[in-house]
Amino acid sequence: MDGELPEPLVIAGRSFTSRLIVGTGKYDSYAQNAAAAEAAGAEIVTVAVRRVNLTDKSQPMLVDYLSPERFTFLPNTAGCYTGEDAVRTLRLAREAGGWNLVKLEVLSDPKTLYPDMIETLRALDMLIADGFEVMVYCSDDPVMARRAEEAGAAAIMPLGAPIGSGLGIQNPVNIRLIIEQAKVPVLIDAGVGTASDAAIAMELGCDAVLLNTAIAEAGDPIRMARAMKHAVIAGREAYLAGRMQKRRYADPSSPLAGLI
Amino acid sequence: MDGELPEPLVIAGRSFTSRLIVGTGKYDSYAQNAAAAEAAGAEIVTVAVRRVNLTDKSQPMLVDYLSPERFTFLPNTAGCYTGEDAVRTLRLAREAGGWNLVKLEVLSDPKTLYPDMIETLRALDMLIADGFEVMVYCSDDPVMARRAEEAGAAAIMPLGAPIGSGLGIQNPVNIRLIIEQAKVPVLIDAGVGTASDAAIAMELGCDAVLLNTAIAEAGDPIRMARAMKHAVIAGREAYLAGRMQKRRYADPSSPLAGLI
Amino acid sequence: MDGELPEPLVIAGRSFTSRLIVGTGKYDSYAQNAAAAEAAGAEIVTVAVRRVNLTDKSQPMLVDYLSPERFTFLPNTAGCYTGEDAVRTLRLAREAGGWNLVKLEVLSDPKTLYPDMIETLRALDMLIADGFEVMVYCSDDPVMARRAEEAGAAAIMPLGAPIGSGLGIQNPVNIRLIIEQAKVPVLIDAGVGTASDAAIAMELGCDAVLLNTAIAEAGDPIRMARAMKHAVIAGREAYLAGRMQKRRYADPSSPLAGLI
Amino acid sequence: MDGELPEPLVIAGRSFTSRLIVGTGKYDSYAQNAAAAEAAGAEIVTVAVRRVNLTDKSQPMLVDYLSPERFTFLPNTAGCYTGEDAVRTLRLAREAGGWNLVKLEVLSDPKTLYPDMIETLRALDMLIADGFEVMVYCSDDPVMARRAEEAGAAAIMPLGAPIGSGLGIQNPVNIRLIIEQAKVPVLIDAGVGTASDAAIAMELGCDAVLLNTAIAEAGDPIRMARAMKHAVIAGREAYLAGRMQKRRYADPSSPLAGLI
């Protein structure tokens, strides 16, 4: 049917129809957050365990607005700068909600929020030994992505650009190299600023897109959530359809050939 | 409601919900052409009067597959290199189908298929004097776009890149300047190669997108038509939502500031 | 020999070694202007006839700092919005300095400073009838560039981006199409912001580069003039040398082929 | 004076006037290689220890064409895939030529020739313990670059694009982040395809550029070497001069602001 994407996204044995994962914790309210997740058609939401209220019943709780029955909660380690911090955070999350599928991010510094891949790989080993299924936020270095996959990552999540930058995918060559070598799903995580950025990620062959700021900080977050839903479907369909060949107009024997 | 675009596209007093116009005449068959137009959710189809069978009832006719009741037919002057040719072609179309809303293109040469803007403006004057409502294929020069609007164009249709090139929008600065000065609708016509190109056009503030080769020459035209439908909605919604601000990470006092 | 460019640039029968033309009238002083022209290695300077003192001997005069014996003065029509204005301005210049080789620009509006190509072509006819040799500032529309050449332009000078924007060449496809069809020299005029922009223009096959703001508004104009001198040589040499082929790393059968 | 770059490049206490390092081993002959190094104005040449004849006096030797008195030889570990291989190779080089300043590259795979940063950092520790001064080929991940510097690297050499690709700098954000955090020189190593690519690297604030294929595989290598010499000077001068601010022409309140 129109707009339906036939192949499910499968991560760690779980199937999803939607290929757009959205965040929590940057919205004006949990109500707005829930409305955005609905408008995005998301089935998975990431949860910054350190920032979102998961346990204090005297305060508004995320689960009151986004039902864990309806959305797969994906706890993440935003704000963790060491492997130990990340492992501790995810153990707490598992105790709180029983979540075993998690997103690991071990950051290097608060300015760029880039992952420290050496700490990340160390934490990944610990988490896998502890029975977690781990989706891994990583740099766009294909070598590090391959190491993460070899260590047992359930999905590879390279950044397209710095978290919260909205700059779009900076290095499509690297993203494409990661996709071509990966046997687990590859998701763009970080850097998407507007709808076309999400479409481009999917056209490159990514299996899904994770974004947060692009929706939360849009002028109208609900409308942007809807835009992103369509953008991900558009990019996925275009990828599967197979785009037309580009035609070049400069004389092929010119010094410009291959340039434009 | 989800995916609905509240404001209609209004061209020459006619309202449309869809903001994607597709072509005819490059498909394997009229049946495929019709299926693609359906999948694209198009309400307007351009018709190359010189290439499509509009009158010979002994042969398969476009109107048997794409009903003029359901689709607004937009006759165009593809293949015309002089103003006189273009005017003659559109008069024939009006006689054949009663179509008064037309798309004017006067080409300069068969290699680039770029419009000859001086001939185009001359033909535009003739057509308006003759009572046509004219959508004008034009270069992305804002000065020429303004002249076309001042001469009475019903819509401005700058090329994003050469017809059939699939190169995407080459000069977003010019497209944006055209949009900011125009009081009639601005449609990107030519250059879209894949879904993200269409999304980018809409994010720039275009009122609609016209494309042909990107669907007709895709590996799976029907699927690509669907991709384009979603891409146009995605770009429109993102434009209306208002994107997040980009954040820059380089030291703002560095020589790089403003570069990345 | 090192850094020497063997083939001269020939415009209207005059030969030049340097392929960098610089402006006048945006500097702190004529002295700085002269020092920048020297550092740039320029042999031609454009002179905004309406802005530069060419006749009032009671005030500092440009010719006292930039000798017309050493530099070819190229009067231009900056600030002219009609063909008649432009023609009148250049006649005054010819009377003042005997300059017959001129640069025509007829602007459309003060915001973009884009050329009005219809007025430009009209003025070009008048100037040629009046015996001038005319270098023509034009849009990057190859069709208009061809018309200017057919009307007798001594050189074609498409804008790379709006005057004074420093945005770099926006549409290399168009610039390259102009170069491939032209039999007279093609110079990028407007849009160069830094050294690499000038190099890119020359790598595309331009015969020369004209710039003004990029030097005058640099932090250190003299140093930037020197940068531009080297950039133009670098780009010219690279063009003549013939660059290596780009290598692509993505699987050539992937949907990405041709994208990165 | 014209073209002179006042500040020397200082690496591990050694001063150089030229900021362009060229390779060896991809040329038709050692004679051509030497002519290209001369034309490039290089003072340092990298030497692939495993590919260049440094010891067999019965065969043509590199040192007969490129004098170690005139050029600083920088042995590199091209072709090494483990830390041990790299260390062994550089020890052999030190025995052969007394070279203590070396370039470390530990590759991950023969397709991309990307560095394996974990092996690279391990080899770096071994080399520093062994008394080498080590310039490090690395990914453009600022976190890994910082780790290399903290481990004692004498210079950081991020790739701009895959070795031999000629694609130009893919991720200027990362390169700039590396430059802003580094206290040792940063050199672009790999990815430069033509002159403007080298200029762009220097405009970003790189201290120097290392390239090989762009010269060796150019149509006219000697001319391209000259182009690169000028491009590096141009980019360096432009960086030091401080470029003009870019001006944007779209309405600053438009959704496009910040886009173009």
Secondary structure (DSSP) of C63-119: HHHS-TTTSEEEEE-TT--SHHHHHHHHHHHHHHH---EEEE--BS-TTT--B-HHH
pLDDT, residue C35, reads 95
Q: Which of A48, C39, B21, D112 is nearest to D137 (CA)?
A: D112
Within 8 A by CB and 6+ apart from B95, the residues are: none
Asked if D220 and C236 touch (Cβ cutoff 8 Å), the reply is no
pTM of the predicted model, to two decimals? 0.93
Say whether pLDDT at A259 is over 60. no
Say whether pLDDT at A6 is over 90. no
Q: Count how many pairs of residues, chain B against chain D, have C-beta atoms within 8 Å.
A: 56
Asked if D218 and D195 touch (Cβ cutoff 8 Å), the reply is no
| Residue D133 backbone phi and psi in degrees, to 5 | -105, 120
Task: Please give the Cα distance from C188 to D129 (Å, whole number).
Answer: 54
**Contacts with B121 from chain C: Cβ below 8 Å:** 118
pLDDT, residue A257, reads 46
* C3 at interface of D, judged by CB pairs closer than 8 A: yes
Bridge-based pairing state of the strands B9-11 and B14-16 = antiparallel
Nearest Cβ partner of C245 from A177, A203, A258? A258
Partners of chain D (3+ Cβ pairs below 8 A) = A, B, C
Q: Three-class SS of residue A207?
A: coil
| Residue B187 backbone phi and psi in degrees, to 5 | -120, 135
Asked if A151 and A124 touch (Cβ cutoff 8 Å), the reply is yes
Asked if B127 and B90 touch (Cβ cutoff 8 Å), the reply is yes
Residue C88 structure tokens? 């009148």
CB contact under 8 A, A114 and D170: no
pLDDT, residue B214, reads 95
Say whether pLDDT at D139 is over 90. yes
Residue that is written with structure tokens 């046509």 in the block: B132
pLDDT, residue B151, reads 97
pLDDT, residue D28, reads 87
Domain B17-241 maps to which CATH number in 3.40.50.150, 3.80.10.10, 3.20.20.70, 3.40.50.2300?
A: 3.20.20.70
pLDDT, residue D258, reads 45
Say whether pLDDT at D227 is over 80. yes
Within 8 A by CB and 6+ apart from C55, the residues are: C61, C96
- What count of other Cβ atoms lies within 10 Å of the Cβ of residue D248? 19
Task: Please give the Cα distance from A4 to B92 (Å, whole number).
Answer: 41
Bridge-based pairing state of the strands B101-104 and B133-138 = parallel
Bridge-based pairing state of the strands D9-11 and D14-16 = antiparallel
**Contacts with A214 from chain B: Cβ below 8 Å:** 243-244
pLDDT, residue B60, reads 85
Task: Please give the Cα distance from C18 to C11 (Å, whole number).
Answer: 12
Asked if C153 and C133 touch (Cβ cutoff 8 Å), the reply is no
Q: Which of B198, B177, B196, B203 is nearest to B188 (CA)?
A: B198
Task: Please give the Cα distance from A214 to A221 (Å, whole number).
Answer: 8
Residue C242 structure tokens? 């013939």
- What count of other Cβ atoms lies within 10 Å of the Cβ of residue D1? 5
pLDDT, residue B53, reads 78
Task: Please give the Cα distance from C148 to C124 (Å, whole number).
Answer: 8
Residue A78 structure tokens? 């935003």
Active site positions of C, annotated: 103
Say whether pLDDT at A57 is over 90. no
pLDDT, residue D248, reads 74
For chain D, percent of residues with pLDDT exceeding 70: 93
Asked if D246 and B258 touch (Cβ cutoff 8 Å), the reply is yes
Please report which confidence band the pLDDT of residue A249 belongs to, taking 50, 70 and 90 as the band edges. low
Asked if C220 and C28 touch (Cβ cutoff 8 Å), the reply is no
Residue that is written with structure tokens 């002249």 in the block: B147
pLDDT, residue C256, reads 46
Across B81-200, the runs of DSSP E, i.e. the strands, are 101-104, 133-138, 155-158, 187-189
pLDDT, residue C50, reads 82
Task: Please give the Cα distance from B197 to B232 (Å, whole number).
Answer: 9
Q: Which residue has the higher pLDDT, D126 or A163?
A: D126
Q: Give how far Cα D189 sits from Cα of A83, C27, D47, D135, D217, Å.
A: 32, 38, 14, 11, 16
Residue A115 structure tokens? 């992952």
| Cα dihedral B168→B169→B171→B174 (10° resolution) | 170
pLDDT, residue A250, reads 52
Task: Please give the Cα distance from C225 to C231 (Å, whole number).
Answer: 10
What's the mean pLDDT in C193-211?
Answer: 97
pLDDT tens per residue across span D57-90: 888 888 889 998 899 999 999 889 999 999 999 9
What's the mean pLDDT in C82-86?
Answer: 94
Within 8 A by CB and 6+ apart from B16, the residues are: B8, B9, B10, B43, B44, B72, B208
The reply, when asked if residue B235 is annotated as ligand binding, is no
Task: Please give the Cα distance from B41 to B19 (Å, whole number).
Answer: 9
Scan residues 169-208 of B and list those with Cβ closer than 8 Å to A.
193-196, 198-200, 203
Task: Please give the Cα distance from D103 to D47 (Å, whole number).
Answer: 9
Mean pLDDT taken over chain A: 91
CB contact under 8 A, A245 and C258: yes
* A247 at interface of B, judged by CB pairs closer than 8 A: yes
Across A49-161, the runs of DSSP E, i.e. the strands, are 72-76, 101-104, 133-138, 155-158
Say whether pLDDT at A48 is over 90. no
Please report which confidence band the pLDDT of residue C4 belongs to, taking 50, 70 and 90 as the band edges. low
pLDDT, residue A258, reads 46
User: ipTM score of the complex?
Assistant: 0.92
Residue A189's H or E segment, with its range, is strand A187-189
Bridge-based pairing state of the strands A14-16 and A9-11 = antiparallel
pLDDT, residue C28, reads 87
The reply, when asked if residue A164 is annotated as ligand binding, is yes
pLDDT, residue D249, reads 61
pLDDT tens per residue across span A205-221: 999 999 999 999 999 99
Q: D92 CA to chain C: closest CA distance, Å? A: 33
The reply, when asked if residue C190 is annotated as ligand binding, is yes
Please report which confidence band the pLDDT of residue C251 belongs to, taking 50, 70 and 90 as the band edges. low
Q: Where are the domains of chain C?
A: 17-241
If you measure CA to CA, which chain D residue comes closest to C38? D2
Residue that is written with structure tokens 């911090």 in the block: A85
If you measure CA to CA, which chain A residue comes closest to B216? A244
Catalytic residue status for D103: yes
If you measure CA to CA, which chain D residue comes closest to A219? D255
* D151 at interface of A, judged by CB pairs closer than 8 A: no
Asked if A127 and A154 touch (Cβ cutoff 8 Å), the reply is no
What's the mean pLDDT in D213-242?
Answer: 96
Residues of chain B with pLDDT under 70: 1-6, 249-260
Secondary structure (DSSP) of A69-94: TTSEEEEE-TT--SHHHHHHHHHHHH
Say whether pLDDT at A91 is over 90. yes
Mean pLDDT taken over chain D: 91
Secondary structure (DSSP) of C23-41: --SSSS-HHHHHHHHHHTT
Q: Three-class SS of residue D155?
A: strand
Say whether pLDDT at C220 is over 70. yes
Q: Give how far Cα B229 sits from Cα of A220, A234, B17, B28, B179, Å.
A: 22, 8, 12, 21, 22
CA angle B256, D177, D234 (to 5 degrees): 40
Nearest Cβ partner of D239 from B172, B255, B260? B255
Please report which confidence band the pLDDT of residue A54 belongs to, taking 50, 70 and 90 as the band edges. confident
**Alpha helix positions (H), chain C:** 30-39, 62-65, 83-97, 117-129, 142-150, 172-181, 195-203, 213-216, 221-241
List b or e across C107-136, with b for residues whose CB sees 16 or more CB atoms inside 10 angstroms: bbeeebbbbbbbbbbbbbebbbeeebbbbb
If you measure CA to CA, which chain D residue comes closest to A172? D170
Q: Three-class SS of residue C4?
A: coil
Q: Which residue has the higher pLDDT, A188 or C163?
A: A188
Please report which confidence band the pLDDT of residue D251 belongs to, taking 50, 70 and 90 as the band edges. low
Bridge-based pairing state of the strands C208-211 and C187-189 = parallel
- What count of other Cβ atoms lies within 10 Å of the Cβ of residue B128? 16
